[in-house]
Structure 1
Amino acid sequence: MTAPVASHRKPKRPRPYSLTGPTARTAATLALAGAATGTALEGTGHAAPRPTPAQVKTEVDRYYQEAEAAAERYNGAKEKARAAEDSLDELRDEAARKTAGLNSARNALGSYATAQYRDGGLSPEIRLALSSSPDQYLDRAARADHMAGRQAAVVERVEHELRGVQQVRTAADAQLARLKDSQAELGVHKRSAEGKLDAAKRLLGELTAEQRASVQDGDAGGGSGGGGAAGAGAGGTDRSTAVRAADRSAARGGVQAPTERAARAVSFAYAALGKPYVWGATGPSAYDCSGLTQAAWRAAGVSLPRTTYTQINAGSRVGRSELTLGDLLFFYSGVSHVGIYVGDGKMIHAPRPGAPVRVAPIDQMPFAGATRPA
Structure 2
Amino acid sequence: MRAFRAGLLVGCLLVGLCPPVEADPAPSSRDVKKAREAVRERSGELSRTTAELATARSRLDQLAAEVERLVEAYNGEVVRLGQAERAHAQARVRLTAAEAEVERARQDVALVATESYAGLGLTNPIVGMMTDRGGADGFLHRASVLEHLGGERSAILGRMRDAQEVATILRTQAGNAYAAQQEAAERARQARLAAEAAVAAQRRDTEELMTREQTLRRRVEAARGHAKSLARQREAALVAGGSAMGDLAANWALTQLGKPYVWAADGPETYDCSGLSMRAWERVGVRLDHWTGTQWTSGPHVPLDQLRRGDLLFFAHVTGDPSTIHHVGIYVGQDQMVHAPQTGDVVRVASIWRGDLVGATRPR
The TM-score with structure 2 as length reference comes to 0.39
Please identify the structure whose Cα radius of gyration is greater. 2
The TM-score with structure 1 as length reference comes to 0.38
Structure in which a larger fraction of residues adopt helix: 2
